[in-house]
Each structure stands twice: as structure tokens, then as C-alpha cells.
């Protein structure tokens, strides 16, 4: 899924911008980027074949992670990870060679200091990757700043820019809209289907 394709003049290459709930994997020389608040993005790559991708997700339920590994939130996070891994393998990648770089989970809403959504997102993704035996080669998790993440799947390079001042509420608005969409779809289905 690649809804936002454009040419990035700064990096002089084609680029894919992913939003909350989206992912993209490729074999092409393409930049994948996203902007994160409390969401998490995982950059996965098969370094031998230079196949990589990124997802951008949020655990939707503020109270469900922790006790049960099959909680609604864990299912959403697991789905986001599984679908990205599946896309990379469809392109020829080998799960046993995957490497990860993880970003986000910022406490971007003022006044939230304990057990934040971002903290739970970060904890989930680290636990998931450890369980799957996928090494985390780099990470920039937590803190209070939103981040803009640029991933170059061909080389594995990631550039992160912390956004220390925001001129609008776009990041928070997108995450709120995404959270509401997840909550609504969970109410309709009651289950997230894994494959």
C-alpha cells in the first residue's frame, strides 16, 4: 500500500510517505518516510537482498496491553508487524535475515507522564521483535518529541529528525483520527484477524 508517492528533491529520489495504520515494502531505490508522535514505526530489512519496508502503527486501546498477549491492542500491533514481514517475504526476503530499526513512542501529549500510549507502543515493538528473534540494530524510542523518520531500504540507512516545535496539530490530529478508526472497527468486528 503506497498512497503518497512523490519525488523528494532534498534526497533526490522517489519517496513514499506512510500515515498511521499504513505500511510499505519495496525492492526499489526508494525513500520511505513518516512522522510519528506516540505511534511507532518499524523499519525492517533483509540486508542481503536489500529488501525493506516500514510500518506505522498505534496500539488502539489505552488499557489492554500488559496482562494478556492476545489483548485487542497486542493483536493490532502483531498484525502491523506480521503484514510488513509478509510483504518483505513476498518480495523475496528471508525472515531469518531480517533486521529492525524502531522509532517513535513519544509522550507528545502534555500532561501524560505515566504509562503513556507511546511507552506501551515502544514496549510492545521491542518485545515482539525479541520474541521473533529479529535483532534491533538501532532505536530512538520515547522522549517527548515527535519525529520525522526517513528510511532508505536499499542501504538500511535511517535519518531521524526530532520535531522540537510544531506549527500545527497535524500529527496529533492524524493519530487521534487513526485511534478513533481503530476503536470503531474493533467495536464492529470484535476481532482482528491474523493470517
Residue 172 belongs to a domain: yes
CB 73 within 8 A of CB 60: yes
Instruction: Judge whether 39 counts as a catalytic residue.
Output: yes
Measure the CA–CA gap between 49 and 77, rounded to whole angstroms. Answer: 26
pLDDT values of the chain reduced to their tens digit, one per residue, 195 residues:
446 899 999 999 999 999 888 999 999 999 999 999 888 999 999 999 999 999 998 875 544 444 444 455 567 788 889 999 999 999 999 999 999 999 998 887 655 455 578 888 899 999 999 999 999 999 999 888 889 999 999 999 999 998 876 655 655 566 656 555 655 554 444 444 433
Residue 194 belongs to a domain: no
Beta strands in the chain (DSSP E): 4-8, 13-17, 23-26, 31-36, 40-46, 51-57, 99-104, 136-141, 147-152, 157-162
What is the count of structural domains for the chain? Answer: 1
Measure the CA–CA gap between 152 and 171, rounded to whole angstroms. Answer: 22
Residue 195 belongs to a domain: no
Residue 94 belongs to a domain: yes
Catalytic residue among 35, 36, 39, 117: 39
Residue 95 belongs to a domain: yes
Q: What is the reported pLDDT for 37? A: 85
Q: What is the CATH number of the domain that holds 62?
A: 3.30.1330.200
Domain extent for 59: 4-189
Measure the CA–CA gap between 9 and 61, rounded to whole angstroms. Answer: 38
DSSP 8-state secondary structure symbol assigned to residue 119:
H
Q: What is the reported pLDDT for 94? A: 96
Amino acid at each position: 500500500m503506497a498512497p503518497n508517492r512523490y519525488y523528494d528533491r532534498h534526497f533526490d529520489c522517489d519517496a513514499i510517505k506512510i500515515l498511521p495504520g499504513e505500511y510499505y515494502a519495496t525492492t526499489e531505490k526508494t525513500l520511505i518516510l513518516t512522522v510519528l508522535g506516540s505511534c511507532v514505526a518499524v523499519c525492517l530489512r533483509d540486508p542481503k537482498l536489500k529488501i525493506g519496508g516500514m510500518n506505522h502503527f498505534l496500539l488502539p486501546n489505552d488499557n489492554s496491553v500488559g496482562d494478556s498477549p492476545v489483548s485487542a491492542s497486542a493483536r493490532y500491533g502483531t498484525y502491523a508487524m506480521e503484514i510488513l514481514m509478509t510483504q518483505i517475504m513476498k518480495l523475496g526476503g528471508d525472515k531469518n535475515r531480517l533486521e529492525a530499526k524502531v522509532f517513535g513512542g513519544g509522550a507528545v501529549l502534555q500532561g501524560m507522564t505515566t504509562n503513556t500510549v507511546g511507552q506501551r507502543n515502544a514496549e510492545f515493538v521491542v518485545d515482539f521483535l525479541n520474541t521473533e528473534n529479529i535483532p534491533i540494530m538501532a532505536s530512538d524510542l520515547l522522549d517527548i518529541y515527535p519525529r520525522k523518520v526517513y528510511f532508505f531500504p536499499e542501504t538500511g540507512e535511517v535519518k531521524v529528525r526530532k520535531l522540537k516545535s510544531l506549527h500545527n496539530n497535524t500529527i496529533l490530529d492524524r493519530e487521534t483520527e487513526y485511534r478513533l478508526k481503530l476503536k470503531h472497527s474493533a467495536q464492529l468486528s470484535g476481532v482482528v484477524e491474523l493470517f
